[in-house]
Amino acid sequence: MNIYNLIRPLLFKLPAETAHNLGLCALNLAAKTGITSLISKPKSAITEVMGLKFTNPVGLAAGLDKNGCAIDGLAACGFGFIEVGTVTPKAQNGNPKPRLFRLPEDEALINRMGFNNLGTTNLVTNIKRAKFHGVIGVNIGKNLTTSIENAHLDYCSALKDVYGVADYVAVNLSSPNTPDLRHLQFGDELKIMLQTLLNERENLANIHARNVPLLIKIAPDLNENEIKQISSTLLEFGINGVIATNTTLERSNLQNTSYRNETGGLSGKPLFNLSNQIISQLHAQLGNKIPIIAAGGIVSADDALTKIKLGAKLVQLYTGFIYQGPNLVRECVKALNLR
Ligand SMILES: Cc1cc2nc3c(=O)[nH]c(=O)nc-3n(C[C@H](O)[C@H](O)[C@H](O)COP(=O)(O)O)c2cc1C
């Protein structure tokens, strides 16, 4: 029985963010009471990337569990790894509501959440409490009140806070919902960011006797020249991985008329091709030197396979999971296992 098919129509009657919060609470409760054992899990298929062992190559993308409050429930849905965050050093409210919109005709979402989260201290407590033994990535960002010139200081402080509990740290330079954040993907801003974080990681690696991989998460709204420049900087600094991609500002070919002009990042099916172009261009530059983790519009097992064929080592789901639930995770793992 597919439990999610029963629950989804009820959740979709509620405003998107209310349904999101209720879903996370329910998952958390289900994990605590053991009900999640009813969800059938995909067979594991250990994949080693960046020196980490992933139970399977299908992960949860950042932003769904920003505070790490439902890690065990989400793990029970079959994910091989879970990326929590984006977390900022201090708690912040994010943008005014409504800020999350469903576009069911397009199997898409538009969000302008703006890094609503409870801060690093709360996240670290939640990760320590979780029983999940798989890979946990922590996605970090800057507080809204920190200027873009001082952004590297916030990222550095977040890195310090989460280092002890993270299997990898993803540096989010690509949310469209924090003013000017995407500027950090380019030129000297990117170099200052990477140098600061790598220096800090060297200190932390000595303190914790563990080298935590650092990944950069990029936008889909980049041209080929920008991808070349970013790739060359990532290679120069020896970054351990790249997550491609975040949500897009693009709005072409959407069926939905109610929300398509809402400000924010578009995710789900309409992002698939754009995101794939970025993966191909990245792979052409990086080869096998820096692993690519692919996110963006995976709504079927074939989509996950396509991303791997384009050069990704791992994939992540968000919007497809909202529309299809754990079944999509299982289907994707099965398809990637059969490769
Ligand atoms: C509601 C929502 C919130 C998100 N929040 C974050 C975030 O905090 N940090 C981040 O790096 N990506 C965030 N993302 C982007 C996703 O992690 C993912 O990169 C993107 O949605 C593309 O994947 P998808 O098409 O499977 O959803 C968010 C996406 C959605 C839909």
Q: What is the mean pLDDT of residues 198-208?
A: 98
Q: Identify which of 247, 293, 307, 329 to mutate to test ligand 1's pocket (most ligand atoms within 8 A of the CB).
A: 247
Give 51-71 pLDDT, tens digit per residue: 999 999 999 999 999 999 999
Give 122-156 pLDDT, tens digit per residue: 999 999 999 999 999 999 999 999 999 999 999 99
Compute the distance from residue 36 Cα to the ligand 1 centre, in Å.
24
Which residues make beta-bridge pairs with 108? 103, 268
Tell me the pLDDT of the chain averaged across its residues: 95
- pLDDT surpassing 70 at residue 26: yes
**3-state secondary structure (DSSP) of residue 96:** coil
Is the shortest distance between the CB of 320 and ligand 1 below 6 Å?
yes
**329, 78 Cβ separation under 8 angstroms:** yes
* pLDDT recorded at residue 40: 74
Compute the distance from residue 6 Cα to the ligand 1 centre, in Å.
25
Compute the distance from residue 209 Cα to the ligand 1 centre, in Å.
31
Atom of ligand 1 nearest to the CA of 272: 25
Compute the distance from residue 131 Cα to the ligand 1 centre, in Å.
24
Give 95-104 pLDDT, tens digit per residue: 999 999 999 9
**Residue 54, Ramachandran bin (φ over 0: left; ψ between -120 and 50: alpha; else beta):** beta
Is the shortest distance between the CB of 296 and ligand 1 below 6 Å?
yes
String of DSSP letters for 72-132: HHHHTTT-SEEEEEEE-SS-B--SPSP-EEEEGGGTEEEE-----B-HHHHHHHHHHH---
Which residues carry out catalysis?
175
Amino acid at 137: G
Give 73-101 pLDDT, tens digit per residue: 999 999 999 999 999 999 999 999 999 99
Is the shortest distance between the CB of 315 and ligand 1 below 6 Å?
no
Say how many C-beta atoms besides its own lie within 10 A of residue 280's C-beta: 16
Atom of ligand 1 nearest to the CA of 299: 26
Is the shortest distance between the CB of 317 and ligand 1 below 6 Å?
yes
* Four-CA torsion 262, 266, 271, 275, nearest 10 degrees: 130
- Asked if the bond preceding 86 is cis, omega within 30° of 0, the reply is yes
Is the shortest distance between the CB of 54 and ligand 1 below 6 Å?
no
Helical ranges in 173-294 per DSSP H: 187-208, 224-237, 272-286
Provide the whole-model pTM: 0.97
Amino acid at 319: T
Task: Determine which residue's CA is closest to atom 7 belonging to ligand 1.
Answer: 63
Is the shortest distance between the CB of 109 and ligand 1 below 6 Å?
yes
**97, 89 Cβ separation under 8 angstroms:** no
Amino acid at 179: P
- pLDDT surpassing 90 at residue 43: no
Q: What is the mean pLDDT of residues 319-325?
A: 96
**Stretch (H or E) spanning 136:** strand 135-140
Of 63, 65, 87, nearest in space to 77 by CA: 65
Q: How far apart are the first and last CA of the chain?
A: 27
Structure tokens that stand for 334 in this block: 């099965």
User: How do 52-54 and 47-49 pair as beta strands?
Assistant: antiparallel
Of 124, 113, 126, 208, nearest in space to 158 by CA: 124
Is the shortest distance between the CB of 139 and ligand 1 below 6 Å?
yes
* pLDDT recorded at residue 1: 58
Compute the distance from residue 211 Cα to the ligand 1 centre, in Å.
26
Give 254-296 pLDDT, tens digit per residue: 999 999 999 999 999 999 999 999 999 999 999 999 999 999 9
Q: Which of 2-6, 7-11, 280-284 has the highest mean pLDDT?
A: 280-284
Torsions phi, psi for 16 (to 5 deg): -55, -45
Q: How confident is the model at residue 241 (pLDDT cuts 50, 70, 90)?
A: very high
Task: Determine which residue's CA is closest to atom 4 belonging to ligand 1.
Answer: 63
Of 104, 261, 249, nearest in space to 176 by CA: 249
Is the shortest distance between the CB of 171 and ligand 1 below 6 Å?
no
Atom of ligand 1 nearest to the CA of 86: 8
